[in-house]
Structure 1
């Protein structure tokens, strides 16, 4: 049976265990972080994680509860593509696929798993909609995990309670995980992963509404994330970007500690950079941190590109099924194909830092429009036959200066938000 996972990274623990190594300084912490940031090796493997908002097909304003979601997931056997099923704080359902050898098999496995899961939810009268932000319901947590209770308290204490609640319970993405590649190429690879961000956000933007209101942004998901502390959610890239491991260590040590095990999970409601805890300037839970505390701290950092031995590309809105294969193939090709990567780096250089602009107006900006058309053209030339239809649809959309958010907004205006959501959430077969 597919088990219900609460999507709480890290293992359960009750304070330092016997023999567990304490950190003696921020310098030792930095060495640990940098050493585990990226893994030297080849490229080619692709892992995908897809989040979908769950709606009642009879009453889309209602948010299904935790036990209701658990009951549905309990009916699902092993998924054909091997994905794990988790539930996000607001009840969004996530598929996390195993690494596959290339974009095409990863896409195929995820599609099979999504169809199986979608059928199970449909039998229970529920639908799974691929949107970057919940367009109907106000933020509300249904996942009872202690981690998320503590996160709520942390965000409230840091004056980002509203954005934190929206981030946890009202946003959804398609995450693309890629090999770090050979060590001598890390710097260029990480720089390109960041530089592609604004252009890819403009292409994939799919969240024009939040909680029943048009926000004026094509990617409200990106807007919400940008309202959180940049020390935790901003880009990792350092001044030069020449040493990604050191950049990640510096970022992680500067970021404030979100929660600590005492033995319960407790929010840290004062601003305490991890470096201060590691150096003994502050004791949390009456103690110094351990390596386990440091590893857990890394799971509470949410930059748009996160190193976890591999690269997590975290800045894409969840996009409709008909465009999903093309968006994934585009992302993978622009990073993993060396010729495409070189062409993409040149194309996106003028808009490499235009994160907010991309999220606000997307392809309406002339520079983003030009970069996006160049990037999709490069990928389309390399698309295999089985992805040609989805890729051509994406090419046409970008040429028209449109993103998925435009289509959803048009539908919401024509027939109302409820109906637009139901059209997306209902099974097509």
Structure 2
């Protein structure tokens, strides 16, 4: 949930006080969009973990700390040295005990996949040695959301999200994603890269949807993870205005116009006054003036499908089982590798660029998304070889395209099929956890929210 080691090209500036809105807008433009030829890419991988003997219980902090050892983050073990894994990836822990690996930024896809795979294997080995099992899905299928970290950031976030409903707490504590980090590119290329990454969002969200079950029941959404985040707080989690001609100005306006989620303090809780935006803070809504460090931190509390923070962090792909995390990386790196490929990917995905709700709910059962995904993935398969994707990743991507995408299927469909064959499938059994039958759709989303539970 914060800027991690996989950031391709982000170096924090020395903090200074912000005295005007125009100064803050200029800072966002200069810091959130580091221009230059795209060179680096990185990835952040998250996994839900549980005890092999008590899968329905929240992760035990002491056992998790023991498993991570010197790699434990200070949010879990304040005295930890927080050492990187052997190949340079760093480890963080999310509020509900999800374990996250952030790769170093690397210049080629083959190195990124090899380094990430090696560090992920070491991380999983450490977890298994302490009896912790990694979940293959992007939402917790058994447990209600339970925060295990006491950090004031997460306590304030939980209280702020709870004022809107249960979905923010679920997003914080019960979901995982594959987050691909890419350089911004040159100023001339930014509008294309920005629009293409957003237009591809519904296609890739649908193709990699992997979370149809949450807290013991089917939700009616193929990506319950994205449904949670779209519902949590639309001002900070939903897509931006589509097809922006000036993403820098629009992003700055969104950042400064978003209410504060938390305010760092030396003592006491970090709760922010409800409804106070960062622009309000600059105007004097809080006793002390904000600094550029405060603005950097505020950006880390926005969770849209694509977040600009010195690089472009793509956040719309569900966590994947096994080595499946390499496939969305290969797709995105391949499709943004050359301008003509990116232009073609945008052309193919633009007709479904606004279908975020359908992608989260129906995935590739939506005919328009299925048609677009077939063409986009065929383009990605062709481009992946050109960017030096490992041969096994290209083979797996081609297999996924043929076996799933061109058949209108996603990983969530496999899980739902498995459940239908079980004597006692997962069902909605009571009122302990509310169904996600409605999502707050912002004005930028052109589609209505479906009613009912098709599952």
Q: Give me the whole-angstrom Cα distance separating, in 2, the residues matched to 1:93 and 1:417.
A: 28
Secondary structure, aligned partner of 1:261: coil
Given candidates 41, 44, 67, the residue that maps to 1:49 is 44
**Structure 1 regions of 5+ residues with no counterpart?**
1-6, 11-18, 419-429
Q: Give me the whole-angstrom Cα distance separating, in 1, the residues matched to 2:123 and 2:421.
A: 29
Tell me, yes or no, if structure 1 residue 184 matches structure 2 residue 188.
Answer: yes
TM-score by length of 2: 0.83
Residue 14 of structure 1 is matched in structure 2 by none
Residue 379 of structure 2 is matched in structure 1 by 378
Contact 1:151 1:259 (C-alpha < 8 Å) held by counterparts: yes
Residue 333 of structure 1 is matched in structure 2 by 334
Tell me, yes or no, if structure 1 residue 146 matches structure 2 residue 146.
Answer: no
Q: Give me the whole-angstrom Cα distance separating, in 2, the residues matched to 1:303 and 1:137.
A: 25
Q: Give me the whole-angstrom Cα distance separating, in 2, the residues matched to 1:125 and 1:413.
A: 29
Given candidates 87, 91, 107, the residue that maps to 1:85 is 91
TM-score by length of 1: 0.88
How far off its partner does 1:324 sit?
2.4
Residue 74 of structure 1 is matched in structure 2 by 69
Contact 2:44 2:101 (C-alpha < 8 Å) held by counterparts: yes
Give CA-to-partner distance per residue, 1:48-73, whole Å, 9 cap, x none: 10000001112211221222211110
Q: Which region of structure 1 is more displaced relative to structure 2, 267-276 or 167-176? A: 267-276
How far off its partner does 1:387 sit?
2.0
Task: Describe how 1:140-289 pairs up with structure 2 within 5 A.
Answer: 140-156=146-162, 159-237=163-241, 241-264=244-267, 265-280=269-284, 282-283=285-286, 286-289=287-290
Q: Give me the whole-angstrom Cα distance separating, in 1, the residues matched to 2:237 and 2:322.
A: 27
Given candidates 94, 99, 102, the residue that maps to 1:96 is 102
How far off its partner does 1:130 sit?
3.4
Residue 437 of structure 2 is matched in structure 1 by none
Task: Describe how 1:288-367 pairs up with structure 2 within 5 A.
Answer: 288-367=289-368
Q: Which region of structure 1 is more displaced relative to structure 2, 290-299 or 138-147? A: 290-299
How far off its partner does 1:207 sit?
0.3
Contact 2:84 2:91 (C-alpha < 8 Å) held by counterparts: no
Given candidates 119, 125, 139, the residue that maps to 1:119 is 125
Contact 1:121 1:127 (C-alpha < 8 Å) held by counterparts: yes
Residue 16 of structure 1 is matched in structure 2 by none
Contact 1:303 1:314 (C-alpha < 8 Å) held by counterparts: yes
Residue 19 of structure 2 is matched in structure 1 by 24
Number of matched pairs: 398
How far off its partner does 1:75 sit?
6.4
Contact 1:237 1:244 (C-alpha < 8 Å) held by counterparts: no
How far off its partner does 1:78 sit?
5.1
**Structure 2 regions of 5+ residues with no counterpart?**
5-13, 72-82, 386-390, 427-455
Secondary structure, aligned partner of 1:316: strand
RMSD: 2.1
